[in-house]
Amino acid sequence: MGGNAIAVHDIEQALMGTSLGVDMQRGVPVRGGHRHHLKVINTIRRCGSIAQAVEQGVLSHGVLYECVRNGVPFALAGSIRDDGPLPDTQMDLIQAQTDYARLLEGADLILMLSSMLHSIGVGNMTPSGVKMVCVDINPAVVTKLSDRGSVESIGVVTDVGLFLSLLLQQLERLTNPYGVAQTV
């Protein structure tokens, strides 16, 4: 669950190597990069959807690519500030809330990663007893989440990239505790 932004930034990085025109390897703006996010939105619109872009071989890596390839359902809730938006972004917010509610059903742990908007939205829709872990670099965001009634949430104030790389390490340790090289 996320907004137009996560998908646009992810797809821009996959297709152009930039995020909002900034080279993700070198950390510097590239010439004409300000157009990149609109270019990739139009590319996906021409394909029909994110899933069709994957099927047509236009999108070949990234978060959304992995979701499509591995059958992980996603819902993108739109907002008035969205660029485009992408064809998959749901601009009818009542429908977007319904989509979120469907995906949240039965969840017993929710990871909320650096989005105040979507973390608080999801927190408000989640019944008590569900564990929530909110990762944000701004301590005010994790406090705001619990102040708004999501008292079960655990706040982790850190950089989301650091959190994800440590999470990956721990998951790898769980699935391969002795660090034995995997053979295929």
Ligand X SMILES: NC(=O)c1ccc[n+]([C@@H]2O[C@H](COP(=O)([O-])OP(=O)(O)OC[C@H]3O[C@@H](n4cnc5c(N)ncnc54)[C@H](O)[C@@H]3O)[C@@H](O)[C@H]2O)c1
Residue 16 beta carbon to ligand X: minimum distance, rounded to whole angstroms: 14
36 or 54, CB closer to ligand X? 36
End-to-end Cα separation, the chain, in angstroms:
32
Residue 161 beta carbon to ligand X: minimum distance, rounded to whole angstroms: 6
Structure tokens at 172: 């790898």
18 or 178, CB closer to ligand X? 18
Residue 155 beta carbon to ligand X: minimum distance, rounded to whole angstroms: 12
| Counts of helices then strands in the chain (DSSP H, E) | 8, 8
Residue 76 beta carbon to ligand X: minimum distance, rounded to whole angstroms: 10
The radius of gyration of the chain from alpha carbons, rounded to an integer in Å, stands at 18
Backbone angles phi, psi at 28, to 5 degrees: -125, 150
1 or 51, CB closer to ligand X? 1
The residues, any chain, with a CB within 8 Å of residue 171's CB and separated by 6 or more, are none
Q: Which of 78, 63, 69 is closest to 3 using CA atoms?
A: 78
37 or 68, CB closer to ligand X? 37
Give 126-134 contacts, CB < 8 A, sequence gap 24+.
126/150, 128/152, 133/109
Backbone angles phi, psi at 181, to 5 degrees: -60, 130
Residue 82 beta carbon to ligand X: minimum distance, rounded to whole angstroms: 4
37 or 90, CB closer to ligand X? 37
Residues that bind ligand X (CB under 6 A): 3-5, 8, 37, 79, 81-83, 114-118, 136-138, 141, 159-160
